[in-house]
Amino acid sequence: MNSKVIGVLFSLGLILGPSIVFAETDPPEISLDGLELMEKDRRGEIYASPDVEWSIYDQILLDPATVAFRKNWQRDQNRYHSLKVKASDMERIKSDMADLFNEVFVAELTAAGDYTLASESAENVMRIKPRIVDLDVYAPDTRSVGITQTYTESAGRMTLKLELYDAVTGDLLATASDRQEAPRRGYYQWTNSVSNRADARRMLQRWAKDLHQRLDEARSDSD
């Protein structure tokens, strides 16, 4: 597989500043799905099936994003902050993040008209299954009564995992994982739901733009 095809997803690990360091254990050369390890860095890794004909895919079937918080996130929030995070707060944040992901990725992938959204499987359709995991919002808006201001240097961090399939055959084409932290400002700033959403949107936009660009390059290279 040439460098441009490899770059389809590996580029997801090259953005957004500070990274979250991986564990010491190296990823296996062959995944459990039989995909080959193409690239890796401290933020993530790419597995792909060799000899994918990327140029045939001009429609995208985008699954709804699933969202999961970092382990013990609610417990830790409620230990160190006065405003308690309830289960309903977590469900609202996850729903908002999933909706924002869909909004950003649909807008970016269809902006230039080179991709259209598919509603069902077809031979030229690539299915993308996104997952956001390890979501860590440093100062969540719990919408509690009272005036409370929280100051942070960064909005938080999250990991994006993508699985790309041939929509007809169900063959897994590639997987990608990327861990990122929102850029650190170098100073503390009041954090609220508006600033959290703005930072999340910027992270998602960079991921979406980069994916779009690399998919275009891979399609062009495999014509």
pLDDT at 189: 46
Q: Class of 3-218 per CATH?
A: alpha beta
- List, in sequence order, every beta strand (DSSP E) within the chain: 36-40, 44-48, 59-62, 66-69, 116-117, 125-137, 150-152, 156-166, 172-181, 189-191
Angle between helices 87-110 and 193-221 (to 10 degrees): 40
Using DSSP bridges, classify how beta strands 125-137 and 59-62 pair: parallel, antiparallel or unpaired. parallel
φ, ψ (nearest 5 deg) of residue 126: -105, 130
Q: Please give the DSSP secondary-structure letter assigned to residue 200.
A: H
Q: What is the pTM of this model?
A: 0.79
pLDDT at 196: 84
CA distance 20 to 41: 11
pLDDT at 32: 64
pLDDT at 30: 75
pLDDT at 144: 59
Half-sphere exposure of 83 toward its Cβ, with a 13 Å CA cutoff?
14
The size of the chain, in residues, is 223
pLDDT at 82: 67
Q: What is the per-residue pLDDT across 23-76, written as a single tens digit (0 to 9) for each?
A: 457 777 776 677 889 788 888 888 888 889 999 999 999 999 999 999 999 999
Residues 6+ apart with CB under 8 A from 164: 9, 126, 127, 128, 129, 172, 173, 174, 175
CA distance 221 to 4: 7
pLDDT at 193: 77
Could you tell me the mean pLDDT of each successive run of 10 residues in the chain, 223 residues long?
45 39 62 79 83 92 97 90 85 95 96 91 96 91 57 70 96 90 54 80 89 82 70
At residue 150, what is the residue type? Answer: T
φ, ψ (nearest 5 deg) of residue 23: -65, 165
Q: What is the dihedral of CA 105, 111, 115, 119, to 10 degrees?
A: 60
